[in-house]
Amino acid sequence: MRNRQRPGLLRTVARTAVIGATATAASKTVSNAMDQSAIRAQQEQAATLQAQAEMEQMKMQLATLQSTQMQTAQAAQVAQAIPAPTPQSDLLAQLTQLAQLKEAGALSEEEFQLAKAKLLN
């Protein structure tokens, strides 16, 4: 007769197999959870880096736009500060130049009068 107080070999092997399978399943579950957590962390880090890069790019675009606007404003101020030559001031300058040429002896009285009449007409 067999001794019933000790578990049989087959029962011990079956119990060990069940325990091993349970441990393996638990280990895989923990490992998968850790892998998923690591993947999520990497994705979050990549998203953060991309957001930072986009922010830097926007800052550079903003600085370029502000610089362009400032240059445009300065050019407008310079354009307002320099009066456009009027036809009268241009005519006056030409008449003054003719008078200087006459005084220097480069134009005769007749040439001066002809040039002056041409300008005034």
Count of domains forming the chain = 2
Tell me, yes or no, whether 24 and 76 share the same domain: yes
Q: Which residue range is the domain that position 38 belongs to?
A: 7-82
Q: Tell me the two tokens of residue 44.
A: 């979050």
Higher-pLDDT residue of 14 and 56 is: 56
Tell me, yes or no, whether 37 and 67 share the same domain: yes
Higher-pLDDT residue of 13 and 64 is: 64
What was the pLDDT predicted at 87? 65
Tell me, yes or no, whether 90 and 55 share the same domain: no
Q: Given a cut of 60, is residue 43 above it in pLDDT? A: yes
Q: How open is the CA angle 74-80-81, to the nearest 5 degrees?
A: 90
- What is the average per-residue pLDDT within 31-60? 90
pLDDT band at 1 (very low <50, low <70, confident <90, very high): very low
pLDDT band at 30 (very low <50, low <70, confident <90, very high): confident
